Each structure stands twice: as structure tokens, then as C-alpha cells.
Copies of this chain bind each other. A is one copy, B any other.
Amino acid sequence: MRPSNRAPEAMRPVSLERGVARYAEGSCLVKFGETHVLCAASIEDKAPGWLRGQGRGWVTAEYAMLPRATHQRTRREVTSGKPSGRTQEIQRLIGRSLRAVVDLKALGERQITVDCDVLQADGGTRTASITGAWVALHDCLQWMKARDMLKGEALKDHVAAISCGIYKGAPVADLDYAEDSSCETDANFVLTGSGGIVEVQGTAEGAPFSEEELLALLKLAKDGCASLVELQKLAVA
């Protein structure tokens, strides 16, 4: 039995609200239940230094949590002078996930940064971030298209993400904090709209897991991401 009484394959209620950041070129407030992330896309009119002169652009992401997004207040990372290892892992993951569905040549020598700021955290902040960041990125690219800034179609596909895990011996979808902090295995999946795998990150928190368990989690993730992609389509329609 899950703490939330959800069925093993049931996700939390998901909402994707566009246009929440007045000044950003694209934005989305994504909610996976009590996990809320504000995603905002910004264009910069030059590519990062290591990419200059190659006629291509770049998409990157930054991630942070408000100090009181969590049950207990956490210190701001600026007070320790640097992003934590966890933060860096997450923002690299979001960036890779978005780049997997963007044609960087179409951007020209520009960079899009998608900021994912967690207003409230109840597990699954990185997967909610990826799912919402896609919407912010979509709107940013629409904004650019409307100004003739793109060379051809920049957005190749949807991308969405979900965390699944083995909780009390059973594979379940969309872990919330209560599950995440006590599950045996935790796996994040990033999938495209056409069902391809962009990223799999599975970790045994207790005992190692088996190939069968990995496949069961992948099955849940495919169904979950398909639903998320449907919601993205509705949101940007």
C-alpha cells in the first residue's frame, strides 16, 4: 500500500500552467502533486564561449530550491559558495534532456537557459522540472519563431520524465517524498514523445535490483511519460 493510497501505476495530479513569468520568453509552473517548480526560459544572444563560431546554439538549465520548499528549511547554496553536487547533477540532467529534442543548429549562435526553481518539494523535483522545462522551452522557441530567429524547426520532439521505484517490494510510478525516502530502488527515466529513452538512472538504495525489476520500472515509466506528453500537448495547444 502506498502512503498516498495511489495504485502502483498512478501518478499524482499533474498540472502545467504556461506564461507565469511575465518577463521570460517562455515559462511554466509545473505541479506533480505537492511538488511545484517554476520553469522560465531565457534567450541570450550569444553561444557559450567554447561553441563560438560553429554556427550552433546551446540549451542549458539551472536548478535550485527555495530554502523553505522542503519540510525542514535547507540553507541557501550561496551561503556555502557553490552549488551542491546534487544540484549540479540535476541541472546537467535537465540540460541533456532538453538538448536531446532540440536541433541546436536551428538556434543560430544563441543560448537558451531554462531556470527550474522549486517552490515546493514533495519528491520528483527533477522529473517535474524536465517535464515543465519542455513547455517553457516550447514557448521560448515559439517566441523566437514569431521573430524569425530560427533556422527551420528547432523542436524535434517532446521530452518528459518520471521517477519510479521499488517500494515495499512492488514497482510504483511517480514517487512522492514519503516513498522516495524509504524505497529500495529509485530510477529516473527521461523519455521522448516517440518513446525513445534519453536517460535512465537507476540506483539500488538497499539490496541490488534485478533485470526484471528494471524492466517493470521501465514499463511504468513509458506509460507515465506518455501521459505527461499528452498533458504537454494540451498545455501548448
Contact = CB atoms under 8 A, between A and B. Distances in A.
A175 interface: no
The SS class assigned to the A binding surface is: mixed
A127 interface: no
Nearest to A74: B42
Interface in A141-194: 187, 191-192, 194
Interface of A: 21-24, 27, 34, 38, 40, 42, 44, 62, 64, 66-71, 73, 76-79, 81-85, 88-89, 91-92, 96, 100, 113, 115, 117, 119-120, 187, 191-192, 194, 196-204, 207-211, 214-215, 218
A71 B200 contact: no
A219 to B, nearest CB: 9
Given A96-B203, A204-B100, A68 B89 contact: no
A24 B81 contact: no
Q: How many of these chains are in the complex? A: 6
A66 B21 CA distance: 10
Contacts of A120: 21-23
Nearest to A206: B100
A197 B204 contact: yes
B218 A196 contact: no
A130 to B, nearest CB: 14
Given A68-B115, A81-B81, 13 more contacts: A21-B69, A22-B34, A23-B68, A42-B68, A64-B76, A88-B88, A100-B204, A100-B208, A192-B208, A197-B208, A199-B203, A200-B201, A201-B202
A54 to B, nearest CB: 17
A50 to B, nearest CB: 13
Contact of A199 (B23, B38, B192, B204): B204
A85 B22 CA distance: 26
Contacts of A200: 187, 200-202, 214
A85 B81 contact: no
Nearest to A23: B71
Nearest to A63: B76
